[in-house]
Structure 1
């Protein structure tokens, strides 16, 4: 492509760019020409080339002593200066995670839960080590979790957003705004060709702005790939839709 650009006179020459690259090579060579420094570790373990200055403050031993104010301080300043630090050592793959969460009776000491992080799709098995109330908010608690899986996502980000998984449900996600009733039967209107049809839903989980309906093969119920109608419809609209779809034009 470079030769083509010269032939077609798109570029006159690459002399300036070549000079820039040669100067960069010289700069890098000068950086590596000095004598290397050997740094030895005091103990064996797993080396991680990352340090944020909190290594001596946030330890496995003092995790349960952290208050909500201590945690908030770290959230506000995720890293500090770590002079002469090239990394840190881990003796094993275990760690403790401290966080401020909404008070929930399902979060009890000794309980096993699963956790997700904002920076990865990995799911971690965690055990609740301790739960204590926050000093400034009675509706929140300080939770310390123990985890036997220490990976890149946990090591390289001191502060992260996390969610605890209490239960898992699989179903069809239905917006609350689309739910309608026929008598006592809860359901949604779906578009099938030119028809607007009411289909039942069997709610197995309720979220804030949605519900999950059981995934079934019963055609009287909402099926996968059904097109849910979000607009408000009346029985008259449904009857009109059916009349239009059944009309026959002769000529």
Structure 2
């Protein structure tokens, strides 16, 4: 029994020694294993998150009329002075009829655009297919960006192109008038006339008092974020804006509002040190999380500061009114101080050798050292300068591959043991 025990014990010891030997040999023979990543081209932005307020020149269209309201024009549509924008009916049925009339007007507008003309763009099937493909992808992108208003507008354009294509493939006949758009327009026009004649009950027509862009939504801040307040704004008044509340009376007794000037303003506050980096008259990019994180350039119009306060109010403006933009009065924005473009290099790949900053890269199975000029650091990578082609020193060429400086698509080493320039990996 004892002999059997010692035999098993001895076998166990020998097994452990054998395993230890194998582990040691494995460790000695995998010293050349390295991890690599490819250098890519990237853009990074030095951003500062801020709380911002939006000011626009707005005129509220007030009304105390009670009943069911029907809008004649769409949000964001440009209007003239004295133009009808909505009708309030005393009877619900009349409002429903007016909504149907508006729907007919939209269909007639689409059908009129669908009528095939003599131009190449409306008679060339290949060009129509290209437009249909482009509009389809634009709608998909708009939906992905949560810009449903834009998607709906593009849907009408897509319908027009599909109608034109259908008319080319299957022209109308005596028995099939599906693509006879002129006949459909005539039928809808007759229906519209009949509906207009059936309207009964009292109604109030709401018209504009000036030209501008119409919006049916009222947030109650129209009398707070005014051009007059912006013109005379102080730092103390800016700090008080957060305490403002919406005017419910305005919300309940208004048909909508007119934005009478395409120019709108973004107002935010920073410390004096940050403000010193921005120059009046220059344009800076903002990232708007409420606008699917997209960028918008705005010009710094003026600044507000006081000698006894370490705060500066920055007032930016732009005339650009993007489709589907969210004009929520108070929102988080990211002010882009500077944009960097260059080579994206992982942080673990960056090293210092003999006082020079650079990376170890692979040239076949040989390790070489290549210098790198760091422009910006963000999270887990650096943005580095492109290498300079000595034949074209003033040109930034992404495709140029340098023997001495990190270049696009280089295989850089992010981890490994006993790494040095000149080593041959086996």
Coarse TM-score class (shorter-chain normalised): 0.5 to 0.7
Name the residue aligned to 2:424. Answer: 242
Give, in whole Å, the separation in 1 of the partners of 2:340 and 2:285. Answer: 16
How far did 1:183 drift? Answer: 0.8
Whether the 8 Å CA contact 1:187–1:199 is kept in 2: the answer is yes
Q: How many residues align?
A: 208
| Cα offsets for 1:112-167 (capped at 9, x unmatched) | 122223225243231232232699x83x4322223222334655322333333444
Give, in whole Å, the separation in 2 of the partners of 1:134 and 1:97. Answer: 23
1:207-246 mapped onto 2 (5 Å cutoff): 207=377, 209=379, 210-216=381-387, 217=400, 218-231=402-415, 233=416, 236-238=418-420, 242-244=424-426
Whether the 8 Å CA contact 1:113–1:164 is kept in 2: the answer is no
Q: Tell me the SS of whatever aligns to 1:52.
A: coil
Whether the 8 Å CA contact 2:366–2:422 is kept in 1: the answer is no
Give, in whole Å, the separation in 2 of the partners of 1:173 and 1:199. Answer: 14
Give, in whole Å, the separation in 2 of the partners of 1:71 and 1:175. Answer: 43
Whether the 8 Å CA contact 1:117–1:162 is kept in 2: the answer is yes
Whether the 8 Å CA contact 2:286–2:335 is kept in 1: the answer is yes
Name the residue aligned to 2:331. Answer: 160
Name the residue aligned to 2:342. Answer: 171
Name the residue aligned to 2:281. Answer: 111
Whether the 8 Å CA contact 1:116–1:163 is kept in 2: the answer is yes
Note closer, same or farther for the CA distance 1:49–1:224 as it changes in structure 2 (3 Å cut): farther
Give, in whole Å, the separation in 1 of the partners of 2:359 and 2:304. Answer: 42
Name the residue aligned to 1:187. Answer: 358
Give, in whole Å, the separation in 1 of the partners of 2:241 and 2:325. Answer: 16
Give, in whole Å, the separation in 1 of the partners of 2:284 and 2:423. Answer: 48
Give, in whole Å, the separation in 2 of the partners of 1:195 and 1:72. Answer: 61
Whether the 8 Å CA contact 1:117–1:160 is kept in 2: the answer is no
> Which structure has more helix as a fraction of its residues?
2
Note closer, same or farther for the CA distance 1:197–1:71 as it changes in structure 2 (3 Å cut): farther
Q: Tell me the SS of whatever aligns to 1:111.
A: coil
Higher RCO structure (Cα 8 Å, ≥6 apart): 2
Name the residue aligned to 2:225. Answer: 58
Give, in whole Å, the separation in 1 of the partners of 2:330 and 2:313. Answer: 15
Give, in whole Å, the separation in 1 of the partners of 2:339 and 2:422. Answer: 41
Name the residue aligned to 1:100. Answer: 269
Name the residue aligned to 1:10. Answer: none
Whether the 8 Å CA contact 1:172–1:215 is kept in 2: the answer is yes
Name the residue aligned to 2:298. Answer: 125
How far did 1:181 drift? Answer: 0.8
Q: Tell me the SS of whatever aligns to 2:419.
A: helix
Pairing 1:48–2:232 present: no
Whether the 8 Å CA contact 1:170–1:212 is kept in 2: the answer is yes
Whether the 8 Å CA contact 1:113–1:165 is kept in 2: the answer is no
Pairing 1:89–2:258 present: yes
How far did 1:186 drift? Answer: 0.6
Q: CA RMSD in A?
A: 3.6
Give, in whole Å, the separation in 2 of the partners of 1:206 and 1:145. Answer: 26
- Structure 1 runs not aligned, ≥5 long: 1-27, 245-251
